Amino acid sequence: MEVSKSLAQRLGLTDKSRFLLEGATDDVILIYNASPSAPSVWKNVRGDIVFQGNTSVCFGQSNPDFVLVRYVERKLHQRGAKTVTSGPQSCEPGKTLSSVDIIAFQRGALLNEQVAYLLALAKLVEEDAFKEYETATDYSSTVQQRGAYSLLIEAELERNARDGFGVIAVSDIPAVCVIPPAKPDQIEGVKALVTRDRDLIAPAVSVDLQFTQTTTDLAFRGLQRRQCGYAAAEAGALQTLIQALRRDKMSYLLSPAWFDPQEVVQATFDALDARKQDILKQEELARKRREDALLEDQRRNVRQSERGEIERQLRQKNGSRARGLMSGINDLVKALAEKRTVDRDSRFPNYSSWLNKRFADQWETFNVTSDVSDFGVVQWNGRPLDAVIVKAVVQQKNRPLGKYENGCFMFAFIDDVEFNMQRELFSATCDTADQTLARWKVGKKFRSQWNAED
């Protein structure tokens, strides 16, 4: 049926956009995103439309049925689109430039939309943001042909005049019972072909099909109990299922898709080859990861070796000075912990407070060990001064409890020999010292002469 031109004229559409409204109402129109922000569709130097990556589709009509959705998807796959993302959602013309590659609609359904929507869609075409890609005139005839082909398949099955694989549809449940062919590995080819032609087999299903390998009896039970909406099998098994479905007066339809034996052989090879290639890719990635890990270990060992040599030279050069400063801290730490002397000058108040709590709980110190954690140079009022950081472990026992425990502390200070002063004294438990000690180093512009720095 042709649509009167009066609507396009009343809306003021030019020759550039009139095709949206003028023509047969059954036509399916595809327009492509010609703007610079098109997600994945573009025109090459030969003038061909190229689909790169995932092709996004929206519909310029309200509530398109899934038969139309699958029809459009199949059209685009035939034109070179690898993956197509679509659904029964309507387009929002103002949001399409950067998110949609193809706008599709059936002309008759578009005519039912609001005038404002028609004008917004026409504006995209008038401004060359979207351009005409294809007008498909075979939608209605294609749907009719599919119905006729289903009947032909069934008739030829009854006469044993068809060889190959097909699918029976009983409901829209997205599960397919697959009866293995005589050559079991060909089940992979059958699954691949059913997935490829899902628009013909399950046009009303909006989710991915799930496959279950089963026997003829269990497939029939699955169809009866609505555990499977579809059954895929060779011609002989399909005949058996049809007879059982007729006997029990169950409604069914032969899907308008048929796969001849050679097609299944090729699809099986492709599916198994793709799986093999994927395994090889995964093995190659695993090998590459192992090689990278080995190289990283080797680099780490070299860095550690270089670092070790740098630290050996630094500690050989500065060992006497660093250990001399460490001994001063160790003597005070031991005196406070073992002899319970009082830190009258509050040099390390955190440590003294911790000891007092431990003494109150009847802990006794029986050993203190200290070591240089770092030694270096800081800037103090424009003068370079030595600074030391010491790690001390306090070993204690509690007679009433019959327990041993260790306390760990970090101590630091700047040694000002010129003024005979120890400045910027610092103490904290080992498990809390990292961040505060890091800030202490940064604030004092500390440069290590003990550890190799990154």
The tens-digit pLDDT sequence of the chain (454 residues) is 444 457 888 888 899 999 999 999 999 999 999 999 999 999 898 989 999 888 999 999 988 877 788 788 888 988 888 878 776 567 888 889 988 999 999 999 999 999 999 999 999 999 999 999 999 998 888 888 888 888 899 899 989 999 999 999 999 899 999 999 888 889 999 999 999 898 889 888 878 899 999 999 999 999 999 999 999 999 999 999 999 999 998 989 899 999 999 999 999 999 899 889 999 999 999 999 999 999 999 888 888 888 889 889 999 999 999 999 999 999 999 999 988 888 778 889 999 999 999 999 999 999 999 999 999 999 988 899 999 999 999 999 999 999 999 999 999 999 999 999 999 998 999 999 988 899 999 988 999 999 987 6
Cα angle: 238, vertex 239, 243; to 5 degrees:
115
- The whole-number pLDDT of residue 88 equals 59
- The whole-number pLDDT of residue 123 equals 93
Task: Find tokens 């070790």 and name the residue.
Answer: 308
Torsion over CA of 232, 237, 239 and 243, rounded to 10 degrees?
-100
Rounded to whole angstroms, the Cα distance separating 328 from 399 reads 30
**What six digits make up the tokens of 23?**
């023509």
At a CB cut-off of 8 Å and minimum separation 6, what does 324 contact?
A: none
Alpha-carbon separation of residue 93 from 62, 65, 361, 363 (angstroms): 13, 20, 76, 77
- The whole-number pLDDT of residue 323 equals 93
- The whole-number pLDDT of residue 142 equals 82
- The whole-number pLDDT of residue 340 equals 81
Strands (E), 96-150: 102-106, 130-136
> How many other CB atoms sit within 10 Å of the CB of residue 233?
23
Rounded to whole angstroms, the Cα distance separating 180 from 188 reads 9
- Secondary structure class of 199 (helix, strand, coil): helix
Distance of CA 24 to the CA centre of its chain: 44
Distance of CA 429 to the CA centre of its chain: 42
